[in-house]
Amino acid sequence: MDDAAAARGEKLSSGNVNHLIDSVDCFLFDCDGVIWKGDTLIDGSKEALDMLRSKGKKLVFVTNNSRRSRSQYAKKFLSLGIPVTQDEIFSSSFAAAMYLKLIDFPPAKKVYVIGEEGILEELKLAGFTGIGGPEDGKKTAEFKANSLFEHDKSVGAVVVGLDQYINYYKLQYGTLCIRENPGCLFIATNRDAVGHMTDLQEWPGAGCMVAAICGATEKEPVVVGKPATFMMDFLLEKFKISTSRMCMVGDRLDTDILFGQNAGCKTLLVFSGVTTPSAFHDPSNHTHPDYYTDKLFDIVSLM
């Protein structure tokens, strides 16, 4: 292998797979594009996870998808035949709630949610009052003369994630809170442009809704999901494992691989999701994992 190739990372092979596995105690996985696509398991990902568990590796699932809570994610794993405990899951919905805990957000204040059930559920578990979300998906905002669009002045934070039921009502509500409630926080679960919300194609991600609120408020959010380090800091505090003994496995350069690198983890890129081999090898790409391979199952087949 020449130097240029080494700088781009090593292709996973029978020559280096055992070294990777032996040098890591904890594997962090992105889910969408690594374990599954939409509701379809990616071939061999269950076998790969089973093999790593059999070798005593700790597994953690770190997902930017905020639509579900951790318990809803555990159910999804189980429905795909993979037993996972809630403690092994770090979703950006959970991260948003943990961020508010960490900064001592006053529980008397409310949180307006542009997003889905998962965020509301995690907020509730953390002791916060979330409003908006799916409930506001059917509301409309009409431009009527002499009628004021009212918003709750006690909202102290707006959390924005992927929202399949985004509408003008929610955009106006969130915008008013951020623009008019003094000190109101603007928190983004993540800024992924698109994601494999179904197995056959990509859909606009939370980055779409977050950008819409940036566009209307002219403010930038605090991001709690990948590639921001918030989830990793939380995770390290909880598991006390050195990041040099961790490996982040993901399908996205701009979230997963950056997230792993920002924390000092090893990184493994898989081509079963968003990043294509041609985009990865393009000279314009400057994010390089330690290893790359087609799909998670390769760590089994190459052993």
Asked if 146 is part of the footprint of its own copies (rule: CB under 8 A), the reply reads: yes
Among 83, 106, 127, 215, binds its own copies (CB under 8 A): 215
Q: What is the DSSP string of the chain?
A: --HHHHHT-EEP-TTTHHHHHHT-SEEEE--BTTTEETTEEPTTHHHHHHHHHHTT-EEEEEE---SS-HHHHHHHHHHTT----GGGEEEHHHHHHHHHHHTT--TTSEEEEES-HHHHHHHHHTT-EEEEGGGGGG------TT------TTEEEEEE---TT--HHHHHHHHHHHHHSTT-EEEES---SEE-SSSS--EE-HHHHHHHHHHHH---PEE-STTSSHHHHHHHHHH---GGGEEEEES-IIIIIHHHHHHT-EEEEESSSS--HHHHHSTT-----SEEES-TTHHHHT-
Among 216, 222, 241, 300, binds its own copies (CB under 8 A): 216
Asked if 278 is part of the footprint of its own copies (rule: CB under 8 A), the reply reads: no
Among 147, 182, 183, 240, binds its own copies (CB under 8 A): 147
Q: How far is the CB of 174 from its own copies (least distance, A)?
A: 9
Catalytic residues: 30, 32
Candidate segments 57-65, 168-176, 225-233, 238-246, binder of its own copies by CB under 8 A: 168-176
- Spatial distance between the Cα atoms of 124 and 65, rounded to a whole number of angstroms: 18
Nearer to its own copies, 149 or 239 (CB): 149
Among 64, 65, 91, 175, binds its own copies (CB under 8 A): 175
Asked if 198 is part of the footprint of its own copies (rule: CB under 8 A), the reply reads: yes
Nearer to its own copies, 25 or 117 (CB): 117
Asked if 225 is part of the footprint of its own copies (rule: CB under 8 A), the reply reads: no
Nearer to its own copies, 208 or 222 (CB): 208
Nearer to its own copies, 85 or 164 (CB): 164
Among 124, 125, 168, 239, binds its own copies (CB under 8 A): 168
Asked if 276 is part of the footprint of its own copies (rule: CB under 8 A), the reply reads: no
In the annotated binding site for substrate, the residues are 226
Nearer to its own copies, 125 or 141 (CB): 141
Among 68, 70, 109, 191, binds its own copies (CB under 8 A): 191
